[in-house]
Structure 1
């Protein structure tokens, strides 16, 4: 397990507060509900398996995994998200374990899980190699690692690029989240500890919004990283930057609607591998 320093604890506290802000469960259930089931299907989760969902949020992948009959642990740095997850699990008629955990220092034994998942979750841990090392460590020999991550070139990657000029500088040593959507980057992180690698770029249809402005306003109210940037600009009293960012996000959203439809297309990388 990774040793946690005082600086790491401060950084992780900020990350926890970021993801606890807004309403990420609304993003998971209203915008990307199909992403978790797609990941579970790709991982071939089966009844009786022991499954870990890392950076699980409110259970977008953990709950579909539990519906297969697997024994599921949902782990996240921000336990504030678990209440919504428990309600969703209860409605779905499944029981799973919810555990507060840092993706870079997971509180689980070596080789404890048959399958380790993350649905647009671990990509936001700041230190990519430490996170990848933990994913491998807790997966048993022959077990499956399955990840769904936004690509740098896709909509969410472009959104983060749009936010970047207005955001606070990243912490020292932190890497950009969308790199997890680059198959070569992920292969490099996991190295020769895995085999049977598959990496597919897929499109997630998103029909929650009817315009770029509606997307922007929803993410300003619900999505932690977007909220943090706007709070920073508001704290600086920079109304001009707020207006510029408003316009840029709305234009980006409009760009990603399929021609003649009200459906957006968001690209993600579906990556699966087997631990040697």
Structure 2
């Protein structure tokens, strides 16, 4: 008899349908990729890739792209997008950023992970694996949300955690990937000198037709961390309280007017050179 062991991180990102949120991130993903110096033939790994918000535009620029995500539904959605666009230089496969067992050492010119690998457990293992699969002279580029930042996503995650059960013992918050000193320490442990790691703050913008209340509806219905927070809040009789707090947040940060949503979120752009 075979016993299947649940993977909480996999369960989280297979919950709902993150592609619905990702659709509001396409323009910002394309803009970021356009600044990475991707050329035809560049070997790119997109880690924690979702359905390809950064992998697809990299492949459109001619790079040979492998997208790896822990969620099987997002891998399937990514492969469907690649097929629809006839991008034969792009494939998606399932994998765990903490142990990239199917990927050889020194395979990629560029490893990119935008709000992806930061959510994997065992961050020191994640850093080690990213460095291992990067070629000498290659780059690792991360986009990570910043703890305590006043903009949208950091505040969503802060609010969600306040309505959720305490994390298990030994849990390391994914938001620590947004702390510059911690990022440097993790890459140093993986063999990257501090002077080869740079960090800067950038804005990622969410764009969606319809008012901010509809945009919040996407997070409530399809974004795993928010879905879990609503379930916990409703079980405690606090569902309406959580909904009001998030509705106020989304409305206060929306710059798109009453019938359109445009919300910026600050993130830490990390570049590490091997």
Q: Same fold (TM over 0.5)?
A: yes
Q: Is the 8 A contact 2:33 2:58 kept in 1?
A: yes
Residue 62 of structure 2: aligned partner: 69
Q: Is the 8 A contact 2:28 2:205 kept in 1?
A: no
SS of the aligned residue for 1:32 comes to: helix
Q: Distance in 2 between matches of 1:210 and 1:185?
A: 38
Q: Distance in 1 between matches of 2:133 and 2:105?
A: 5
Q: Is the 8 A contact 2:44 2:66 kept in 1?
A: yes
1:209 Cα offset (Å):
5.9
Q: Distance in 1 between matches of 2:132 and 2:168?
A: 25
Aligned length: 263
Residue 124 of structure 1: aligned partner: 119
Residue 88 of structure 1: aligned partner: 81
Select 1:16's aligned residue among 6, 10, 27.
10
Residue 185 of structure 2: aligned partner: 188
Q: Is the 8 A contact 2:233 2:242 kept in 1?
A: no
Residue 130 of structure 2: aligned partner: 135
SS of the aligned residue for 1:202 comes to: strand
Question: Is 2:218 the partner of 1:218?
Answer: yes
Residue 230 of structure 1: aligned partner: 230
Q: Distance in 2 between matches of 1:142 and 1:109?
A: 16
Distance 1:127 1:255, change over 3 A: farther
Q: Is the 8 A contact 1:42 1:146 kept in 2?
A: no
Select 2:165's aligned residue among 164, 168, 171.
168
SS of the aligned residue for 1:47 comes to: coil
Residue 273 of structure 2: aligned partner: 274
**1:55-99 CA distances to partner (integer Å, 9 max, x unpaired)?**
111111111111121111111111211222122222333122222
Residue 198 of structure 2: aligned partner: 198
SS of the aligned residue for 2:12 comes to: helix
1:196 Cα offset (Å):
4.1
Residue 207 of structure 1: aligned partner: 207
**Structure 1 unaligned blocks of 5 or more:** 1-5
1:167 Cα offset (Å):
1.2
1:210 Cα offset (Å):
5.0
Q: Distance in 1 between matches of 2:40 and 2:207?
A: 32
SS of the aligned residue for 1:206 comes to: strand
Question: Is 2:91 the partner of 1:97?
Answer: yes
Question: Is 2:264 the partner of 1:265?
Answer: yes
Q: Is the 8 A contact 1:150 1:269 kept in 2?
A: yes
**1:210-245 CA distances to partner (integer Å, 9 max, x unpaired)?**
5443332221111111112222344x3x22x11111
TM-score by length of 1: 0.86
SS of the aligned residue for 1:57 comes to: coil
Distance 1:90 1:40, change over 3 A: same
Distance 1:10 1:173, change over 3 A: farther
